[in-house]
A and B are shown apart, each in its own frame.
Chain A
Amino acid sequence: MKIKNKLKQITGSGYFLISIILIYFFLFIFKQNLFFSSISFFCNIFFKIIPIFILVFILMALTNYFITPKFIMKHLGEKGIKKWFFVILGGILSSGPIYMWYPLLADLKSKGLSYGLIACFLYNRAIKIPLLPIAFFYFGWKYIIILSFIMIIVSVIQGIILNKLMEVKNENSYSVRRKR
């Protein structure tokens, strides 16, 4: 029973790691040269990213301290173009898993936030300030700045597209209901 309970506690990523370790275990037994080459490759990457992880941790703690869901909810209530601006900023600054934000967004939807603004918020969650050091390390600051800038613009475009599409879909379902 105890083993069963402990197995239940293992997450999907835990199973992923265990299966990879098992592959390495078999490699160690049957193909030692492949095992050692892979481990040396692993160490090479791992030691390079340790300092970046420390920086990521500090930035994550700072974001958690200053940017709370309450802070973001307060500013999402702005009007006009300001609303888009705060939705973009809210998306970028929000932290935690994405599904944590669904109930809050659904609540804001019932209070008048459009589907487009919700989509824009979710798109901008892809831009993570605490993870910038690791992104710079792999791709360089020039690439990441250009990518982030394009993503912000595209998030607004996706918002506008979704507003239009949801409007059309809603109108269609409304007319079908009326015909009935």
Chain B
Amino acid sequence: MKKIKINKKNIKEAIIKAGKGLLKALPMIFGTILLISLISVLIPKSFYTTIFSKNIFLNSFIGSLIGSISAGTPITSYIFGGELLKQGISLLAVTAFLVAWVTVGIIQLPAESAILGKKFALLRNITAIFLAIIVAIITVLLLGMI
């Protein structure tokens, strides 16, 4: 059997990098949970049901749009999305929100345009907004079937 060579220096580096990554995300995570807690106490659940109507396309479009302009690590999006779901927002809107959050990068758009090209960056982000809606619809439909 082939033995896996373990490099102690690389392990240390990997742990430090992971720690730094989580530490960097902590202010945003703390802030998001604090904000969610405040919003949950302040805003009644009925408010969300008025924003997210019964129209599935409109719901997913709103979710995708909010996700596109939101910034932060994917951990934050899961926490935020999970709590939105608990507030009574439809799974469709939350899914579109989650997918857009992680696939659309409005904040990184200037860097992406400068390095990979303006046309590419714009087309990639625009298609990602619409694809988030499609992903949300298919996921929710499949989840209902299985």
The answer to whether B120 touches A38, judged by C-beta atoms less than 8 angstroms apart, is no
The answer to whether B142 touches A38, judged by C-beta atoms less than 8 angstroms apart, is no
In the assembly, what is the distance between CA of A100 and CA of B137, in Å? 32
In the assembly, what is the distance between CA of A151 and CA of B83, in Å? 22
Does A53 sit at the interface, judged by CB under 8 A?
yes
Which residue of B37, B99, B142, B143 contacts A42 across the interface (Cβ within 8 Å)?
B37
The answer to whether B17 touches A64, judged by C-beta atoms less than 8 angstroms apart, is yes
- With A115-B120, A134-B75 already in contact, the answer to whether A102 and B112 are too (CB < 8 A) is yes
Q: Which residues of B contact A103 (CB under 8 A)?
A: 115
The answer to whether A23 touches B112, judged by C-beta atoms less than 8 angstroms apart, is no
- A interface bracket (residues with beta carbon within 8 Å of B): 35 or more
In the assembly, what is the distance between CA of A61 and CA of B11, in Å? 8
The answer to whether B127 touches A16, judged by C-beta atoms less than 8 angstroms apart, is no
Which residue of B18, B37, B74, B82 contacts A38 across the interface (Cβ within 8 Å)?
B37
Does A146 sit at the interface, judged by CB under 8 A?
yes
The answer to whether B72 touches A13, judged by C-beta atoms less than 8 angstroms apart, is yes
A86-131, CB < 8 A from B: 95-96, 98-99, 102-103, 105-106, 109, 115, 118-119, 122-123, 125-126, 128, 131
Which residue of B79, B134, B138 contacts A49 across the interface (Cβ within 8 Å)?
B79
The answer to whether B34 touches A38, judged by C-beta atoms less than 8 angstroms apart, is yes
In the assembly, what is the distance between CA of A64 and CA of B12, in Å? 10
The answer to whether A42 touches B33, judged by C-beta atoms less than 8 angstroms apart, is yes
Q: Which of A39, A103, A123 has the most CB of B within 10 A?
A: A123
- Chain B positions within 8 Å of A, measured between CB atoms, are 10-11, 13-15, 17-19, 21-22, 24-25, 27-28, 30-31, 33-38, 40-42, 72, 74-75, 78-79, 81-83, 85, 91, 95, 98-99, 102-103, 105, 108, 111-112, 115-116, 119-120, 123-124, 127-128, 131, 134-135, 138-139, 142-143, 146
For the complex of A and B, the 5 pairs showing the least CB-CB separation, nearest first, are: A138-B82, A126-B102, A65-B14, A60-B18, A64-B14
Given A41-B37, A135-B78, 19 additional A-B pairs, CB 8 A: A14-B27, A20-B38, A45-B33, A57-B18, A57-B19, A61-B11, A62-B14, A64-B18, A95-B21, A115-B120, A123-B128, A126-B102, A126-B103, A138-B78, A139-B81, A146-B142, A146-B146, A154-B134, A158-B124
